[in-house]
Amino acid sequence: MNREEVIDKINDFLIDEFELEADQLTPDALLKDDLEIESLDFVDIVVIVEKEFGLKINGAEMKEVKTLDQFYTYIHTNLNK
Amino acid sequence: MGIYSVLGENLEQVKESLYTGKSGIGIDPRRTEMGFRSSLTGILPRPNLKGMLSRRERVGLPEQGEYAFMSTKQALDNAGITQDYLDNNEVGILFGNDSSAVPVIEAIDNMREKKDSTLLGSGSIFQSMNSTVTMNLSVILKLRGINLTVCGACASGSHAIGLGYFLIKQGLQDMIVCGGAQEINPESMCSFDGLSAFSVNHNDPTKASRPFDKDRDGLIPSGGAATVIIESLESAKRRGANIIAEVIGYGFSSNGDHISVPNVDGPVKSLEKAIKDANISPKDIDYINAHATSTPVGDMNEAQAIARVFEGCNVPVTSTKSQTGHEMWMGGASEVIYSILMMQNNFVAANINLDNPDEYSSKLNIPNKRIDHKIDTFLSNSFGFGGTNSTLIVKKFVE
């Protein structure tokens, strides 16, 4: 899966599941402060990523992911490992 | 007060259903496919809360929690209580709820399949616990008072109101959101169906719930949610509330007997304690909303208990379960609302499907047609597994 496809999928579930607006989804948006994704939401993101990408998120690694762009990169990199 | 029931999704609809004797019972084909003995159930649509609550607020709400949100929002609106009021006053919540089957089943199914608890999602735990309704609503409404779920089987909703009344009477709380909620899905009802306690009158679903009738063959599970806002008289007057009624008595008892078969002495004690607490005599009661679920032993024992306590009173007695089915954890709260609606509109709803009273119910005044009747004070019974009994007495408010 290329990076654009990863970005589209992530943006789709953030809009559908997390009820975010498309114009909020800028690469430098901070997941916690700008998109208001809190600790319990990350529990659901683990479930959705497994369903959408067949990928198991590593909790410790996700702690380093602060922006949406870093999240795209994290998923894309792990998918292509 | 507010209601989300098989008789309607607001007070006006429910009042109309009570007035016309409409039944809320139907057939659920899923139960037939799943191997249920009875496919009869109360029929109720799931509300769509998208747009009413945020995703985070919805994630933790199971089916009965959604019903409870609907009835509670209505109750608060009807009582003129705003979020600003809740933010600036200590308001509590006491709700009857005694199961939350589907989230538990889904979590276990997921674990067995995926063998990974991190794939269960964040809402599962908050949906699974019996305290799910009070847990969620207290956060949604930002409540700061008592925050507790009452698990008293089919008397849960009644005990919730009774305990709320006690807390207010003791001066420990000024206002409490009280009620009962009941899930209606087949998963939550299969083990009860296994006791062969449900009616199998599939040919005529609206005639299947027949409390006090000789030809009854069991109860019909039902559900939804009901909410009443109870508060001290001082609190109600201070905020200029439209006071509907007063809780004046609460009685309770435990049968100390069989786990599922009710008796007569336990309910008698609950009735007598409520009457004593209300400081009235049996002849002051204008209407009795019976627990009677349409099971032979339960109805007959309750009829004997009522006959013993109300000897010579000829008070009208009906079971609204003839229309709703058995709303279980919710019933004690919803039946207070049904009775208040009758009190406000001067009628007693028909105990529908009562064609042939049995030897005990024939001794009571049970109208099988709606009657015009002035009610100033009513009594509502709720009994449950384990022999838990609760009786509430409510009076029309007069300045």
3-state secondary structure chain A: CCHHHHHHHHHHHHHHCCCCCHHHCCCCCECCCCCCCCHHHHHHHHHHHHHHHCCCCCHHHHCCCCEHHHHHHHHHHHHCC
B224 neighbors B348 (Cβ within 8 angstroms): no
Q: Which two tokens stand for residue B96?
A: 């009857």
**How close is the nearest chain B Cα to the Cα of A72, in Å?**
20
What pLDDT score was predicted for residue A37?
95
pLDDT tens digits, A27-37: 999 999 999 99
**Which of B49, B52, B56, B139 to mutate to test binding with chain A, by most A CBs within 10 Å of its CB?**
B56
Question: Residue B312 CB: number of other CB atoms within 10 A?
Answer: 8
Q: CB under 8 Å to A36, separation ≥6 — which residues?
A: none
**How close is the nearest chain B Cα to the Cα of A42, in Å?**
8
The CATH number that applies at residue A18 is 1.10.1200.10
| Chains A & B: contacts with CB separation below 8 Å | 26
What does the alpha-carbon distance between residue B105 and residue B102 come to, in Å, rounded to a whole number? Answer: 5
- Which residue of chain A is at minimal alpha-carbon distance from B120? A47
Nearest CB partner across the interface for A46, out of B55, B119, B123: B119
- Is some CB atom of chain A closer than 8 A to the CB atom of B121? yes
What pLDDT score was predicted for residue B378?
98
Q: Phi first, then psi: what are they for B71, rounded to 5°?
A: -70, -35
Q: Is B314 exposed, middle or buried (0-12, 13-18, 19+ CB in 10 A)?
A: exposed
Nearest CB partner across the interface for A47, out of B55, B56, B119: B119
B365 neighbors B313 (Cβ within 8 angstroms): no
What pLDDT score was predicted for residue A62?
87
What pLDDT score was predicted for residue A81?
83
B386 neighbors B394 (Cβ within 8 angstroms): no
Interchain proximity A40–B56, CB inside 8 Å? yes
What does the alpha-carbon distance between residue B112 and residue B121 come to, in Å, rounded to a whole number? Answer: 15
Residues of B in contact with A59 (CB under 8 A): 118
B326 is catalytic: yes
Q: Any idea how long chain B is?
A: 399
Residues of B in contact with A38 (CB under 8 A): 56
Active-site pick, B178, B291, B313, B373: B291
Q: How far is CA A24 from CA A12, A45, B112, in A?
A: 12, 18, 38
What pLDDT score was predicted for residue A59?
81
B65 neighbors B101 (Cβ within 8 angstroms): no
Interchain proximity B56–A44, CB inside 8 Å? no
What does the alpha-carbon distance between residue B76 and residue B140 come to, in Å, rounded to a whole number? Answer: 13
Going by C-alpha positions, the residue among B185, B164, B287, B271 that lies closest to residue B227 is B164
Dmax (CA) for chain B in angstroms is 65
**Residues B75, B81, B82: CA angle, nearest 5 degrees:** 120
Rg of the Cα atoms in chain A? 11
Residues of B in contact with A56 (CB under 8 A): 116
Interchain proximity B118–A46, CB inside 8 Å? yes
**Which of A13, A32, A39, A47 to mutate to test binding with chain B, by most B CBs within 10 Å of its CB?**
A47
What pLDDT score was predicted for residue B399?
83
- Is some CB atom of chain A closer than 8 A to the CB atom of B48? no
Residues of B in contact with A55 (CB under 8 A): none
Active-site pick, B154, B159, B178, B313: B154
Superfamily for domain range B2-396: Thiolase/Chalcone synthase (3.40.47.10)
pTM of the model: 0.97
Going by C-alpha positions, the residue among A61, A59, A19, A57 that lies closest to residue A39 is A59
Amino acid type, B232: S
Q: How far is CA B116 from CA A40, A46, B107, B135, B393, in A?
A: 17, 11, 10, 26, 50
B154 is catalytic: yes
Count of domains observed in chain A: 1
Q: Mind listing the pLDDT tens digit of every residue in chain A (81 residues)?
A: 999 999 999 999 999 999 999 999 999 999 999 999 999 999 999 999 999 999 999 888 888 999 999 999 999 999 988
DSSP of B238-307: HTT----EEEEEEEEEE--S-SS---SHHHHHHHHHHHHHHT--GGG--EEE----S-HHHHHHHHHHHH
What pLDDT score was predicted for residue B27?
98
What is the extent of the structural domain holding A41?
3-79
Q: Mind listing the pLDDT tens digit of every residue in chain B (399 residues)?
A: 999 999 999 999 999 999 999 999 999 999 999 999 999 999 999 999 999 999 999 999 999 999 999 999 999 999 999 999 999 999 999 999 999 999 999 999 999 999 999 999 999 999 999 999 999 999 999 999 999 999 999 999 999 999 999 999 999 999 999 999 999 999 999 999 999 999 999 999 999 999 999 999 999 999 999 999 999 999 999 999 999 999 999 999 999 999 999 999 999 999 999 999 999 999 999 999 999 999 999 999 999 999 999 999 999 999 999 999 999 999 999 999 999 999 999 999 999 999 999 999 999 999 999 999 999 999 999 999 999 999 999 999 998
Q: Which two tokens stand for residue B207?
A: 């005639």
**How close is the nearest chain A Cα to the Cα of B122, in Å?**
6
DSSP of B22-88: ---EEE-HHHHHHT-S--EEE--PPP--BTTB-HHHHHT--HHHHHHHHHHHHHHHHHT--HHHHHH
